A and B are shown apart, each in its own frame.
Chain A
Amino acid sequence: MAMLDHADLREATIKGFARKRAIALAVPAVLLVYLGYIFVAFDVPGLAQRANMDNAVILLSDAVSHKIHVTQDNRSFETNVSVEGSRRAIYSDVQIPDWVAISDERVVVDLTNGHTVTYEGPVITYDLPGYGPIRVTVGEALALELPQAGPVPDFINASDSRVAVATPEGRLTVTRSRADTFRYFFGWELFFFDLNSQYSGMGTGAVMASVLGGERLYPDLPNWQSVVRDVWYNSVWRHGDVVWAIGETALMAFLGTFGAAAIALPLAFLAAQNFTPAQSIRFAVRRVFDFVRGVDALIFTIILSRAFGPGPMTGALAILITDTGGFGKLFSEALENTDQKQVEGVQSTGANALQRYRFGVIPQVMPVLLSQVLYFLESNTRSATIIGAIVGGGIGLMLTQAIQTTQDWEKVTYYMILIVLLVIAMDALSGWLRRKLIKGE
């Protein structure tokens, strides 16, 4: 290279700086223009109107609390008290909480701060301190009587077929078929024992005491077994089903990842330049890998769930097929980077092809392959929740079902926590295995 003289060098440097400065200004400008276009294209300003902040409030408050409903059937005038209005969680006569007073002629619900709701057959009254009694009479249409003249206040939402009164203390909804009052309580109710369990309503201490040496609560089982059984078959939180679902999701990730690795390894030899001299074979295998990687997991999931029906095996196969492409590419690159000397050494002892691969190649690539497989295992645990939601299996399905009811936000929260814990656990497991198997600690 010819020596640059001083002035040339100086000029080139200044030009270089100018170019760099132009790039440093142009890149953010292009990004800003693009984001501006997106702002308009995605209608972000319109989002403020479409977003339903009431839903957000419901979601946040429901996530950490539960509602207890007092419901009257407006045809038979029978009343029941239940958690979240669920038919599986109706309080029996002795379990009814003390803020609900049920007698033959009336039901009085105490909503605290002086708010009370009274059901007297077809006449339903919400007594609001400082405003007066709001009375709804159920007939052919709903008749609403307000204590004060003037427009209907905005905490009352009334039509001929439905009247709703919403206050911070609670909420009353009357339709022709039923009257429903609910009150919020903090916490997740019936998390361990549902109302049918003998342990329902016991504190932690009482349950411990009965396990350690109390009287048998169920004649057929010792107490520690019946505690486990009642928690497992809890009809509200369905812990048994949740554990199975978590297991299915982890299983999908495990079967998919390792199955893909087992299929991709022999194929990768066919795609590696130093093991398959025939260019046509190499080309064909590589295009297969590319195709499988390009056809997305979504497409495989749809095709496979048509053939195999919903369930964890379908999800596992979808992960398996997609990852075969990814692993094939990564493995064949690792194989191309192997040192040929070790193979020649093994060959010099008279080893056949299989022995050469087993003792000359596998020990070289194993750490690389294993660490890639373990990385995939962790990321596939996340994919398995999404694929589970589409194929209908695992915790992903339970999550989408819980969200679609738009009621069970405490369950949604519970499942979200479980999913995050599952992913973190798989991450920790794969990290531990990597250290154990590869670094040999």
Chain B
Amino acid sequence: MATVLPAEPRISDIRDDYLALTRRKRMYGGLLLLAFIVTFVAGFQIAEERNAGGFAEGISRIFDFPHDLISEAWRNAANMPGHATAAFPALIETVNIAMVSTILGCLLGTALALAGTRGLAYWPRLIPVARRTSDVFRAVPEIVIALVLIFIMGGGPVPAVIAIAIHTAGAQGKLFSEVNENVDLKPLDGLASVGATWWQRTWLGVFPQVLPNYLSYSLLRLEVNIRASAILGFVGAGGIGYELRNAMTFGQGKFDQAAAIFLMLFATIVIVDQISSWMRNSLTQGRAA
């Protein structure tokens, strides 16, 4: 009985097939890139058309404002320490807004994450509710909540804290629940076998596993929230952003004050970033395990 073997593929056939495949792939890739570039350029043209000033004339003026700012600050350099001292309480307020909202947001986020993780939730039926809640919290930009709360409560730090905390809770709720998914369930089973309640299992079985990750994410969030709190101040929620806007709207004559605030804000952001990254490093490398 003779079996018909398929013809041995020749090397040249393989090479041709491979080259054809590569060409096709490369063509698709090229087309995709082309489509992307066309979209990007068209989008940029629309954006430029709807902008008050064009790109070409703006780019030549881009250093005018920093130049005005720096030259005035330079002339009045003697005033700078005074301005910095005057704005210091506002800076403290901005940092406090960021810290409090990070703490509250992360606590709420922890609750949302625990309630939204399969296997850890106290009421498993409410898992979808907890997840959708953190989705919605995450989707609402801080400014929306802040502006509405300013209307009700008047200006000040509390609307900013609530606004940032809600967004933080949503964002951390998602990140924390991803951490929770990787929890080893064996310690939980062990604790359950000796009759531990849900609280005891969570406190002694879950938290020791997830806390380093939680802390690391929370520190990253603090870096984000410092910036958010400065921006919210600019739209009326107090702190250094508010001082900056006042100095800016006054315009020429208060540029030295604006420059002092710029410098302080920059320094604060860099310092917080540095501290946070140092703490995160020591968390991941760990002291004695």
Contact = CB atoms under 8 A, between A and B. Distances in A.
Interface of A: 31, 34-35, 38, 41-44, 47, 50-53, 55-56, 59, 244, 248, 251-252, 254-255, 258-259, 290, 293-299, 302-304, 306-314, 316, 382-383, 385-386, 389-390, 392-393, 396, 399-400, 403, 406, 412, 416, 419-420, 423-424, 427
A31 B65 CA distance: 42
A306 B161 contact: no
Interface of B is mostly: helix
A313 B141 contact: no
A259, A307, A399, most chain B CB atoms within 10 A:
A307
B104 to A, nearest CB: 8
Interface stretch (B6-14, B73-81, B265-273): B265-273
B47 A312 contact: yes
Interface in B230-246: 230-231, 234-235, 241, 244
Contacts of B158: 42, 44, 47
B51 A313 contact: yes
A291 to B, nearest CB: 9
A396 B140 CA distance: 12
B100 A35 contact: yes
A314 B51 contact: yes
Contact of A311 (B47, B99, B266): B47
B90 interface: no
A423 B104 CA distance: 23
Interface size band for B: 35 or more
Given A294-B270, A308-B55, 18 more contacts: A42-B161, A51-B153, A59-B148, A252-B47, A254-B40, A255-B47, A294-B269, A303-B62, A307-B61, A308-B53, A309-B53, A311-B50, A312-B47, A386-B231, A390-B235, A400-B143, A419-B140, A420-B139
5 contacts: A34-B99, A294-B273, A298-B234, A298-B244, A386-B143
A57 B11 CA distance: 80
B197 to A, nearest CB: 18
Contacts of A416: 140, 144
A196 to B, nearest CB: 27
Contacts of A299: 262, 265-266
B251 to A, nearest CB: 10
Nearest to A48: B153
